[in-house]
Amino acid sequence: MSNKLLLGRFIPGDSIVHRLDPRVKLLMSFYFVGIIFLADNWQTYLFLFLFTMVAILLTKIKLGFFIKGVRPLIWLILFTVLLQMLFSSGGTVYWSWGPIVISSYGVVNGIYIFMRFVLIIFMSTLLTLTTPPLSLADAIESLLKPLKVIHFPVYEVALMLSIALRFVPTLMDETEKIMNAQRARGVDFGEGNIFQQMRAIVPLLIPLFVSSFNRAEDLATAMEARGYQGGEGRSKYRVLSWQLADNLTILAFALVTVVLVILR
């Protein structure tokens, strides 16, 4: 079960990408989703594909891991592509039947959507494979800092995020344990009609919530016993450092944007 979890798929390593500042990786992943919409012809998609492949090579992680990320979604992606192919008109019409039209425009668009999906999934997989979840939380905290101007509780949000990420695997184990315990008592998960399936969730949720409340209680007491008095005025143990490689990454993405604008 846990190997399907996106968050837990961090693979320790010592490549250039692993050592990048998590802020850069997070920002550039979002930026990549943005610039992928700039691509509108085969040259631009080929270029982005090559760029993603170079990024993957730099992580020194096997390509198989990235393909594994796409595999559970492949039917969904193909379904979306098929829809795009069947229901967009324009260009040369190859075949038509009622509202369903297969046209050159539709086919080309379908291929582009497929590429877009795969590239976005590759990039987000790259982010989660090379960045430990807690570094991501640190990065989000650091990036949210400007919001302090509008009295957004940045420290609280960052702390909440760190605690949530820390407890995902713990609660996950617990969920699995409760599921197995209920199975041993005769509950069938994922079988029967809708109502039976939903009813099976109840004996899972109740113990999970009660234990969460107890955990929160214990955790808060332990935090206060160690002198926690709120977010303001604390120092940091994990300090993020911005290095030359981070500037180069941003430069690389800027270059990619320029090339995309020229090629389109």
Residues forming the site for other proteins (CB under 8 A): 1, 4-7, 33, 69, 72-73, 76, 79-80, 83-84, 86-88, 99, 117, 120-121, 124, 156, 159-165, 167-168, 171-172, 175, 189-190, 194-195, 197-198, 201-202, 204-206, 208-210, 212-213, 215-217, 219-221, 223-224, 228, 230
Closer residue to other proteins in complex, CB, 64/98: 98
How far is residue 66's CA from residue 234's CA, in Å, rounded to a whole number?
39
Instruction: State the nearest-atom distance from the C-beta of 241 to other proteins, in Å.
Output: 27
**Which residue's CB is nearer to other proteins, number 120 or number 240?**
120
CA-to-CA dists, residue 31 to 105, 193, 238, 253, 257, angstroms: 27, 43, 25, 8, 10
Tokens read off for 3: 């190997």
Tell the smallest beta-carbon distance from residue 179 to other proteins (Å): 8
Per-residue tokens: 157 = 């949000």
Nearer Cβ to other proteins (76/261): 76
Which residue number, 46 or 73, has a Cβ lying nearer to other proteins?
73
Kindly state the smallest distance separating residue 261's Cβ from other proteins, in Å: 22
CB closer to other proteins, 207 vs 263: 207
Pick the closer one to other proteins by CB: 97 or 195.
195
**Rounded Cα–Cα distance for residues 233 and 153 (Å):** 13
CB of 247 to other proteins, least distance (A): 26
The residue (of 24 and 161) whose beta carbon lies closer to other proteins is 161
Work out how close the CB of 7 gets to other proteins at its nearest, in angstroms, rounded to a whole number: 7
For residue 255, the minimal CB distance to other proteins (Å) is 24
Calculate ∠ Cα 232-29-80, nearest 5°: 125
Interatomic CA distance for residues 112 and 46, integer angstroms: 10
Least distance between other proteins and beta carbon 207 (Å)? 10
Decide whether 166 or 245 has the Cβ nearer to other proteins.
166
- Phi and psi, residue 107, nearest 5°: -65, -45
CB of 217 to other proteins, least distance (A): 7
